[in-house]
Amino acid sequence: MAYCTGTDCRQRHSDRNSGSSAVSGQLCAGEPMKDQLKLSALMRPHWRWWLLSLALGALTLASIMGLFTVSGWFITASALAGLQLASAGSFNYFGPAALIRFFAISRTAGRYFERLSSHNAILLLLQQLRLWFMRRFLASSVQPDTKSADLLQKLITDIDRLDQWPLRVIAPVFWACLISAGWLTLLWFWQNDLAQLAFCYLLGLLLVPVFAVLLGYSRACTLVEMASQRRQELLEPLSALTMLQLHQGWTAAEQQWQQTEQQYQKLVWRQSVLDLCCQFLLLSILALMAFHLLWTALPLLQQQQISIAALVAMLMSTLALTELWLPLATLYRHLADSLMAKQRLDQIQPQVPKGSLHHLSGPLTLELQQVSVAYPDAIQQTSAVNYQLKSGEMLWLQGPSGVGKSTFLCTLAGWLQPASGRILLNGQELQLYQDSTLRHHIGLLSQQVSLFNMSLAANLRLAKPQASDEELRQVLADAQLEQWLTHLPLGLDTELGEYGVAVSGGQARRIALARLLLQPHQILLLDEPFVGLDPATADQLFQILSRRCSQQILIIASHQSLPALKNCQQLQLKLL
């Protein structure tokens, strides 16, 4: 049986056994977890796409600058030529018009292919991020107080926010600095006095996003945390809506969420105000720079050192800088989103591998020495158990509901630590074995099983990908599903639907049992495998399990009593 490591992760995700175990095992066996998430390492395999995206984005913005500049010069020069009849006929309209058309086409084409390449790079990055997250999550030790809504926030929102780092932080800063430096260089070769003046204003433009980061970064980080809290306070009560309404607890949960929502909206409003202020400062600096450059260039125009058309072209190129710098008004927000998302994902730490024993062979012996089990922080625990089982022996674990039968099986599988006592496997404590060794030799069928939105055959082959159709039919027959299978029009190709909604609970449990039987475990732990079966079918299933597991250790936890139990050892579980 393959399952994710980490005691608490095992508790909350016990339904990964007997089927999804094969998938989780492959993920857990992937490359070693690193201490921190490094986007650069995930982006490096697709660096060509990122480089192409940056180059096309720079080309697009350079085309916009060129379009504004040439258009301003051409319109002004054409107007002046029209006022002078002598030069109207000799004015070259075709060259500048062709250049304008070139810049317009390159702007459109550059924008299209830049979006195409950047989206492809982002999708590849998201693919790597989700694989990284799942490997880390399955190898993590999730704390008992971890909320499902918080995990959902990490899995969906935080991963999606990480794409803002290359798209909304790195790329806009790179483009703004590169194109502004090129514009300033051309201005320097044309009129160095104007370039010196423009350089001072560009420094002022650069200070605006720095000022925004200093003023709004911490607030944006708070907003990210509150967004997670807001989602958690909304989804967690909704998952228990019926019980909260029955016990008049919904009103308190609703009031708590509304209070958080008000705080969240207040922070969003303050952030919007800061965005507007930054945009106003950027536009004001650009407008002031254009006015100052115009004022400084007027004496040069009077001295005929520059032409009116060139002056207008310079002003138009200055106004075109808005395309470069305005996206930086919200730089602090995207910086906070991406860094906070990275920090939240880094909170899922891989568990340090435990156990040093990896070899387990020959007939197995399972020995319990004064073993008492309980979930962490449980009020009660089971009474101490002393027992020994060898390969080929069966144990029927009995006890009333709530006595701890499921907890007992989870402890035997290595998912939980015993509350007291020792569990020995071939003379060695269970905790000394590596998780991969336990997954290979111990299989657990829990009460909560997972079926996926795939065909019946695909669900079964999660446990044994190379299994033939005949092998699948045989294991379904052993799980008392042969007659049901013959009535399915599509047979093994029948889709089970999301969460297995196309089958009943009893059928889902037996499909999970069949999936578990496909794996070569030497110890089988079955939790209530006969629920929903009539006595005759349950007795027949027990006989088949006894025959199949004649060389294995079989432990069944059930509150039922079957006629065939005379050939099976029995243990009555009690609470202290």
pLDDT digits 0-9 by tens, 135-165: 777 665 544 344 555 666 666 777 878 888 8
Per DSSP, helices labelled H in 240-330 are 241-246, 250-302, 308-320, 322-325
Q: Does position 9 have pLDDT exceeding 70, yes or no? A: no
* CA distance linking residue 107 with residue 67, whole number of Å: 9
State in Å, rounded, how far the first CA of the chain is from the last one: 31
**Sign of the Cα pseudo-torsion (488, 490, 493, 497, in order):** negative
Q: 50 Cβ partners below 8 Å, 6+ apart?
A: 43, 121, 166
**DSSP-derived secondary structure letter, 162:** T
* CA distance linking residue 537 with residue 530, whole number of Å: 9
SS3 state of residue 570: strand
- Among left, alpha and beta (phi > 0; psi -120 to 50; other), residue 15 is alpha
CA dihedral of 340, 342, 344, 347, whole degrees rounded to 10: -140
**Rounded alpha-carbon distances, angstroms, from residue 297 to 191, 307, 314, 423:** 9, 10, 10, 88
Which residue in 303, 320, 324, 295 sits closest to 73, CA to CA? 320
Across all residues in the chain, what is the average pLDDT? 82
**DSSP-derived secondary structure letter, 494:** -
* CA distance linking residue 478 with residue 511, whole number of Å: 10
The predicted pLDDT at position 11 comes to 36
**Sign of the Cα pseudo-torsion (451, 453, 456, 460, in order):** negative
**Rounded alpha-carbon distances, angstroms, from residue 563 to 137, 163, 283, 538:** 44, 61, 86, 10
* CA distance linking residue 551 with residue 561, whole number of Å: 23
* Rounded average pLDDT over 406-424: 88
The predicted pLDDT at position 94 comes to 82
- Helices 250-302 & 331-346 angle (0-180, nearest 10): 140
Between 96 and 26, residue with greater pLDDT: 96
As a three-state string, the secondary structure of 452-469 is CCCEHHHHHCCCCCCCCH
* CA distance linking residue 31 with residue 76, whole number of Å: 63
HSE-CB at 250 with a 13 A cutoff on CA atoms is 10
Between 536 and 184, residue with greater pLDDT: 184
SS3 state of residue 427: coil
Residues pairing with 366 in the sheet: 389, 425
**Rounded alpha-carbon distances, angstroms, from residue 394 to 380, 551, 562, 573:** 27, 10, 14, 16
* Rounded average pLDDT over 300-322: 91
Residues composing the chain: 576
The predicted pLDDT at position 251 comes to 78
Q: DSSP 3-state helix, strand, coil percentages of the chain (rounded to 5)?
A: 65, 10, 25
Residue 306: other Cβ atoms inside 10 A: 18
Task: Please give the domain boundaries of the chain with CATH numbers for all domains.
Answer: 7-14+359-572 (3.40.50.300), 34-346 (1.20.1560.10)
Residue 21: other Cβ atoms inside 10 A: 24
Which residue in 546, 524, 541, 561 sits closest to 445, CA to CA? 524
pLDDT-derived band of residue 16, with 50, 70 and 90 as boundaries? very low
Burial (CB count <10 Å: 0-12, 13-18, 19+), residue 60: buried
The C-alpha angle 183, 184, 189, rounded to 5 degrees, equals 100
Which residue in 122, 114, 217 sits closest to 160, CA to CA? 122
pLDDT-derived band of residue 34, with 50, 70 and 90 as boundaries? very low
Q: Does position 173 have pLDDT exceeding 60, yes or no? A: yes
Q: Does position 25 have pLDDT exceeding 50, yes or no? A: no
* CA distance linking residue 344 with residue 159, whole number of Å: 10
β 394-398/553-557 pair status: parallel
- In this predicted model, what pLDDT tens digit does every residue of 364-381 receive, in sequence order? 889 999 889 888 777 788
The predicted pLDDT at position 147 comes to 52
**What are the CB-based long-range contacts (under 8 Å, 24+) for 7-10?**
7/141, 7/376, 7/415, 7/416, 7/417, 8/141, 8/142, 8/143, 8/144, 8/146, 8/376, 9/137, 9/138, 9/140, 9/141, 9/142, 10/410, 10/415, 10/416
Which amino acid is residue 264, in one-letter code? Y
β 394-398/569-572 pair status: parallel
- In this predicted model, what pLDDT tens digit does every residue of 388-409 receive, in sequence order? 888 888 888 888 888 888 888 9
Which strand (E) or helix (H) includes residue 108?
helix 94-138
SS3 state of residue 131: helix
- In this predicted model, what pLDDT tens digit does every residue of 430-444 receive, in sequence order? 888 887 788 888 988
Note the maximum CA span of the chain.
119
pLDDT-derived band of residue 520, with 50, 70 and 90 as boundaries? confident
Which strand (E) or helix (H) includes residue 132?
helix 94-138
Question: Given the structure tokens 């921190």, which residue do they identify?
Answer: 36
Residues pairing with 382 in the sheet: 575
The predicted pLDDT at position 6 comes to 34
